[in-house]
Structure 1
């Protein structure tokens, strides 16, 4: 009996010790638990005053379309069938069709101009091959057109006191003037009172030699013989300023105005010289006018114009065909379109 009690007490004491050890172990911090986690789990008894950095912030009301209960997206809208490939406006088609037609007509016109310019240059070059023709005592200004680019000879005396400088004129990149001097033909035909004065374009001089005192070698005296080309008067364009004969300023070779200013016939002769580089340099240094070579200097760019206009006509015709070609038929002419959001 005593042994049973002793065993019971021993068992009770051991059970109580184990229970106390388990409770103590449960309250202790495990070795694998994070310190921050334990601090968050422990209730804080102290209250801190809110700082300006920790003030509660109120959210503004959202204005996104999805927050509206009545919002409908583009996916929710039913698509609408429309027909593509509609016909263009008649006015636009007329304008588009007029471009290749107009370009083709301009190309044909340039073909005619090319033939006319080629024939004109050939006629002038044929006149250059003929021997120089002495100028008659009196020249009809209306007949000059039939003798344009005709080589002529004239004898007379220079009227340097009536010299006119047309400019500015550029020669080989240098500014200068075109010297025009009346040639008084008295004495060329003795006993003939009908001798006249003509205007002779002697050539180009540099701007630094404009004053006659700087070019005494370019002012020959006595009777001289001039060989040059008889030229038809030019037509002035709207961009050239008007001449001022009273002030001695000339910007354009207006034959009739210049002839009236010096009292000569409205006949224009361009003095010619053989093209020689050394001779040109020598004349430039001495102030002697550099004459033009006896050749036709008409520009003939009509071949380029023909290519340009016909190319434009062909390109616009292809564009016209691409616009007017028949679109695909059937369901391919219908597309789905949804413009509402």
Structure 2
């Protein structure tokens, strides 16, 4: 027993739990540092790819090497296979307008842009531009964290190009889609060029927070431990 009546084993257990927490805080800080490196690299890649001159679509798509690459491609739009995908943008809730572009070699799904719910009637839309210029984006399989695509009911919440092609009867489909640049006037629908290119990078502040918590807890445990040793 200690002088305060607390069993020695309980004191040792509490100190051990604090040591485990300190280790966890340090590991979380290290993880945030790794995320910081990843996010910094992503931002640099997006800036180097998205704002350059358009290039032809790569023969073999590599998501790590080609995501957000500015490309140009020509073909024929199959407007009868157009699909609306649920979206929320800075312009509010609405839909992405997805249309397959038939290139002769494969079908490439083109995200023509965003339309609000009250503009989903295509009669008032601007005609699609050929050739298509825009940013390569990897497919978004299955759905989102909160919702799943439902091909039977025609409810789409993510741009899953393989599922879209299967639903409309397309065979050879590229494993990516293209976010098309704006076409038409500033008030035209669909509104292209809304790809999110800004990424929040708060990993350094999170890392410093975890390290600070580890340091504070270590300081508190050290003071308590020294006090306990003096009393014993």
Query: TM-score under structure 1 normalisation?
Result: 0.58
Q: Is the 8 A contact 2:144 2:158 kept in 1?
A: no
Measure the CA separation in 2 of the matches of 1:266 and 1:320: 54
Point out the structure with the larger strand share: 2
1:159-211 C-alpha deviation (Å, 9 max, x unpaired):
221111111x223363211111111224xxxxxxxx22100111110101123
Q: Which residue of 1 aligns with 2:75?
A: 156
Question: What does residue range 246-325 of structure 1 map to in structure 2 within 5 Å?
Answer: 246-262=152-168, 263=170, 264-273=173-182, 279-280=185-186, 282-283=187-188, 288-292=189-193, 296-325=197-226
Q: Which residue of 2 aligns with 1:75?
A: none
Name the Cα RMSD after superposition.
2.9
> How many equivalent pairs are there?
226
Q: Which residue of 2 aligns with 1:29?
A: none
Asked if residue 84 in structure 1 is aligned to residue 4 in structure 2, the reply is yes
Q: Which residue of 2 aligns with 1:192?
A: none
Asked if residue 210 in structure 1 is aligned to residue 120 in structure 2, the reply is yes
Q: Is the 8 A contact 1:242 1:251 kept in 2?
A: yes
Query: TM-score under structure 2 normalisation?
Result: 0.83
Question: Bigger radius of gyration, 1 or 2?
Answer: 1
Measure the CA separation in 2 of the matches of 1:318 and 1:309: 14
Asked if residue 101 in structure 1 is aligned to residue 9 in structure 2, the reply is no
Question: What does residue range 1-341 of structure 1 map to in structure 2 within 5 Å?
Answer: 83-84=3-4, 86=6, 87=8, 88-135=10-57, 139-141=59-61, 143-167=62-86, 169-172=87-90, 174-186=92-104, 195-213=105-123, 215=124, 217-220=125-128, 224-234=130-140, 239-262=145-168, 263=170, 264-273=173-182, 279-280=185-186, 282-283=187-188, 288-292=189-193, 296-327=197-228
Measure the CA separation in 1 of the matches of 2:154 and 2:144: 21
Q: Secondary structure at the match of 2:74?
A: strand
Q: 1:312 to 1:237 in 2, by over 3 A?
A: farther
- Report 1 or 2 for greater relative contact order, CA contacts < 8 Å, sequence distance ≥ 6: 2
Q: Secondary structure at the match of 1:246?
A: coil
Q: Secondary structure at the match of 1:266?
A: strand
- Comparing 295-304 with 263-272, greater Cα deviation is found at 295-304
Tell me how far 1:236 sits from its aligned partner: 5.8
1:89-141 C-alpha deviation (Å, 9 max, x unpaired):
433322111111111121122112212221232123122343211236xx434
Which runs of 5 or more structure 1 residues have no equivalent in the other structure? 1-81, 187-194, 335-341
Which runs of 5 or more structure 2 residues have no equivalent in the other structure? none
